[in-house]
Amino acid sequence: MFGFFRQQPRRTNSAQAAKERLQILLAHDRSDRARSDLLPLLQRDILEVVRRHMQVDSNAVEIKLERGDDMSSLEINIEVPDAQPRQAG
Partner 1 sequence: MAKTIVVTSGKGGVGKTTSTAAIGAGLAKRGHKTVVIDFDVGLRNLDLIMGCERRVVFDLINVIQGDAKLKQALVKDRRLDTLSVLPTSQTRDKDALTLEGVEKVLGELKEEFDYIICDSPAGIERGAHLAMYFADEAVVVTNPEVSSVRDSDRVLGLLNSKTRRAEKGDGEGVKAHLLLTRYDTDRVTRGEMMPIEDVLEILAIPLLGIIPESPTVLRASNVGMPVTMDEASNAGKAYEDAVSRLIGEQLEMRIQPEERPGFLRRFLGRRA
Q: Looking at this protein, which amino acid is placed at residue 30?
A: R
CB nearer to partner 1: give 40 or 55. 40
The CA distance from 42 to 89, in Å, is 20
CB nearer to partner 1: give 85 or 89. 89
* Residue positions counted in the chain: 89
What is the smallest separation between the CB atom of 53 and partner 1, expressed in angstroms?
Answer: 22
Which residues contribute to the site for partner 1 (CB under 8 A)?
A: 2, 5, 10, 12-15, 17-18, 21, 24-25, 29, 32-33, 36-37, 39-40, 43, 58-59, 61-68
The CA R_g of the chain, rounded to the nearest whole Å, is 22
